[in-house]
Amino acid sequence: MGRGGAGFPTYLKWEAVNKEKADKKYIVCNGSEGEPNVFKDGFILENYPEKLIQGIEIALETIGNSSAYIYLKKDYYKKFKKLLEKLIGNLPITLFEKTGGYIAGEETAVLESIEGRRPEPRIKPPFPTESGLWGYPTLINNIETFYSVAKIADNEYKNTRFYSIGGDVKNKGVYELSENLTIKEILEKTHNYPLFDFFVQKGGGASGEILLSNELDQMVKGVGAIIIFNKAKTDLFVLMETWADFFMKGNCDKCVPCREGLFRIAEMIKKKEIDEKVMEEIFFVLEKTSFCALGRGAVVPFRSLINKLMS
């Protein structure tokens, strides 16, 4: 299972790229980590960079005639450039600094960015495995996915994954724990289970779903991120406004539901006048008709918060 957030089976991507016939192929390691309050890829870069490079090397060996890019968000690029270059040595791996905002982390927008265009998602199909970077078959995986590949190769993999834990907690940070733990268990294990009345956002600081404290007997899935909010101290409108602003700033403004729908959502939130019928209509088109996953996913936090905490 890939660790980028979509949970797509990694082996299928590898197989697909491998079976394509082409004179060259590309591997892209996506380190664009753009959601607020998620920093597990940064944690891997900081602590296990050699495992990451090892994972990419395995991909280079598996996929014939290939070369790789590591696509990094700006601060990661600055911070880890030297270190990574040293580890890369003579391997055909190029570091690339992310251009653009949140959308520039969407896998086909990553390709546009590397090719030197404004990062915007591409029409799929064709999928990158078939026609990716400069039209060649391309494998795109997240940093954590390559890390796990290396662990599996070394027989060290123990069904763990990384969790960013943030928000109103004592022990903020990134933890490597079993992927089968529930959110409640993770919070307890890391001594972060709050004593106050709280709610949780799981799977990303913008597009993650809101869960109440009695809904934590489930696993995280998606992006490994848990954010705790103190109910008494959180202004729900302010919270939603930060999401809305984040999405509006981070999207590419290409398709109608995402560009205009998010603008209208932000408008209602800023005025603190939520017309639930209109909101649902916009959610519907965002979810069902957006060009890419950004628009589809943007519905999740708003809808779950409004349904669970406001009505």
Positions that interact with another protein (CB under 8 A): 118, 123, 248-249, 252-257, 259-261, 263-264, 267, 278, 281-282, 284-285, 288-291
Measured in whole angstroms, how far is the alpha carbon of residue 15 from the centre of its chain?
Answer: 23
Q: Which is nearer to another protein, 132 or 224 (CB)?
A: 132
Measured in whole angstroms, how far is the alpha carbon of residue 103 from the centre of its chain?
Answer: 10
Please report how close the Cβ of residue 118 comes to another protein at its closest, in angstroms: 7
Choose among 171, 131, 146, 139: nearest CA to 57: 146
Q: Which is nearer to another protein, 196 or 284 (CB)?
A: 284
Please report how close the Cβ of residue 7 comes to another protein at its closest, in angstroms: 16
d(C-alpha 31, C-alpha 8), whole Å: 17
Q: Which is nearer to another protein, 71 or 291 (CB)?
A: 291
Please report how close the Cβ of residue 292 comes to another protein at its closest, in angstroms: 10
Q: Which is nearer to another protein, 189 or 259 (CB)?
A: 259
Please report how close the Cβ of residue 262 comes to another protein at its closest, in angstroms: 10
Please report how close the Cβ of residue 197 comes to another protein at its closest, in angstroms: 35
Q: Which is nearer to another protein, 6 or 256 (CB)?
A: 256
**Up-side HSE of residue 119: CA atoms within 13 Å toward CB?**
21
Please report how close the Cβ of residue 78 comes to another protein at its closest, in angstroms: 22
Q: Which is nearer to another protein, 72 or 255 (CB)?
A: 255
The sign one gets for the Cα dihedral 30, 36, 39, 45 is: positive
